[in-house]
Amino acid sequence: MKARSPIGIFEFDEKGIVRNIELFEKDPEKAAEYFIQSADDGQDQMRENFRAYALKHFSEEDLNAFISEFCIALSKKMMSGAVGKDKLIIQASNALEELVKISNTLLMRTAEWFSLHYPECKKNNETLAEYIAKYGRRENWPEFKGSLGVEISEEDETVLKTFASLAYDAHEQKKRQESYVKIGMKKVAPNFASLMEPLLAARFLAAAGSMEKLAKMSSSSIQLLGAEKALFRHLRNKGRSPKYGMIYVSNLVQSVPEDKRGKAARAYATKLMLAARIDYFSGRDESAKIKKELEDEIKIIKG
């Protein structure tokens, strides 16, 4: 029977007597790595025997320093790496909004430009950009059979091809960045991000400014997040006071009959506040429970 320890694997016989210790390398990082991969039969005897045996291989101070570093290495592997990540996610999310606009514009422009040369081509904008970047002029395309479009010179082709690959890269980067923001958001705020589409959750975070600020917001402030523009308009006496921010565009509130949306938005904001606080202050993933509670509340509101 085996039991893991920071310095190696202890082997016990049926009477619980130590038979052998298979020592790890004296490198705490590597030891933590081996430790995680090793099997363990959960031997109580390990605890009693550990120090006496370990001191055959280490001085007391070295052993303590080793265990300390081992525990740090082990703990780092168990942490999600969420601290400080909120600011990175906010930048990526803001950049993503720009990227969505830019990549659409670039793709549309590419299609319009290339249609002068090959108007018969019927591909969607993304595939079109990909093909132009790959093949260039229509004559190089596998499916090309003939066209009524204008002829282009080598110079025309180079410029168009480069632009198309820029458009295609922007589009690819948009997709990569979307998945980066989604995954990152679930790490930084697993509870909050479980209550809505993670990309929208990232926009909430960006509007709040940081995880700390989001966690310290009241539910009524959360309800108004993203409504800042309307709020300023109202403060300058030029519009109605805004009732809702981004919450209102969420699928959840939109799924509720119009006369009950205010109530739904309030219930939603309260749960979001709770979720943000758990994320920031404890970091525990209680998303299944919170999600269920919210769904039940919305069901009641719908009647």
Partner 1 sequence: MNAVSEWTRRCASVCLRCSKTGGAWTMKELSDGIFADKGKLYTENLVPGIKVYGEALAKKDGKELREWDPTRSKMAAAIMKKIKTIPLKEGSIIFYLGAASGTTISHFSDIVKRSGLIYGIEFAERVFRNLIEIAGQRKNIAPLFADARLPEKYFWVEDCDIVYADIAQPDQTEIALRNAHIFLKKGGFLFVTMKARSIDVTKDPKQIYKEEAAKISGKNYKIIEVVDLEPFEDSHAMIVAEKGQ
Is 91 a binding residue for partner 1 by CB under 8 A? The answer is no
Q: Which range binds partner 1 by CB under 8 A, 66-74, 236-244, 250-258, 285-293?
A: 66-74
Q: How many CB atoms lie within 10 A of CB 284?
A: 10
Residues 201-240 that bind partner 1 (CB under 8 A): none
Find the shortest distance in angstroms from Cβ 71 to partner 1. Answer: 4
Judge whether 110 and 133 are in contact, CB under 8 Å. Answer: no
Interacting positions 271-300 with partner 1 (CB under 8 A): 280-284
Considering CB under 8 A, how many residues would be counted as binding partner 1? 33
Which residues is 4 bridged to in the sheet?
A: 9
- Token code pair at residue 74: 């082990």
Task: Answer yes or no whether residue 65 interacts with partner 1 by CB under 8 A.
Answer: yes
Q: Which residues contact 87 (CB under 8 A, 6 or more apart)?
A: 210
Taking CB under 8 A as the binding criterion, the range among 44-52, 124-132, 220-228, 290-298 that sits at the site for partner 1 is: 44-52
| Burial of 180 from C-beta contacts in 10 A (0-12 / 13-18 / 19+) | middle
- Count Cβ atoms below 10 Å from residue 250 Cβ, excluding itself: 20
Q: In what order do the strands lie in the sheet containing 18-23? A: 2-4, 8-12, 18-23
Q: Which stretch binds partner 1 (CB under 8 A): 65-73, 94-102, 111-119, 260-268?
A: 65-73
Question: How many other C-beta atoms can be found within 10 angstroms of the C-beta atom of residue 121?
Answer: 19
Minimum CB–partner distance for residue 197 and partner 1 (Å): 25
Select from 26, 30, 51, 101 the one that contacts partner 1 (CB under 8 A): 51
| Binding status of residue 39 toward partner 1 by CB under 8 A | no
CB nearer partner 1, residue 170 or residue 278: 278
Q: What is the DSSP string of 106-170?
A: HHHHHHHHHHHH-TT----HHHHHHHHHHH-SGGGSTT-----SPP--HHHHHHHHHHHHHHHHH
In the set 37, 56, 61, 142, which binds partner 1 (CB under 8 A)? 61
Binds partner 1 by CB under 8 A, chosen from 50, 131, 163, 192: 50
Burial (CB < 10 A; 0-12, 13-18, 19+), residue 150, is exposed
Lookup: tokens for 245: 């921010």
Q: Let me know how long the chain is.
A: 303
Tell whether the torsion through CA atoms of 148, 150, 151 and 157 is positive or negative: negative
- Minimum CB separation from partner 1 for residue 76, in Å? 8
List 72, 116, 159, 300, residue binding partner 1 (CB under 8 A): 72
Our CB check for partner 1 shows the closer of 19 and 76 to be 76
In angstroms, give the least distance from the CB of 86 to partner 1: 11
Residue type for position 227: A
108 binds partner 1 (CB under 8 A): no
The CB-of-28 to partner 1 minimum distance in angstroms stands at 11
80 scored as a contact of partner 1 (CB under 8 A): yes
Closest separation between CB of residue 70 and partner 1, Å? 7
Of 47-55, 136-144, 175-183, 218-226, the window that binds partner 1 (rule: CB under 8 A) is 47-55
- The residue ranges that bind partner 1 (CB under 8 A) are 3-6, 40, 42, 46-48, 50-51, 60-61, 64-65, 67-68, 70-72, 74-76, 78-80, 82-83, 280-284
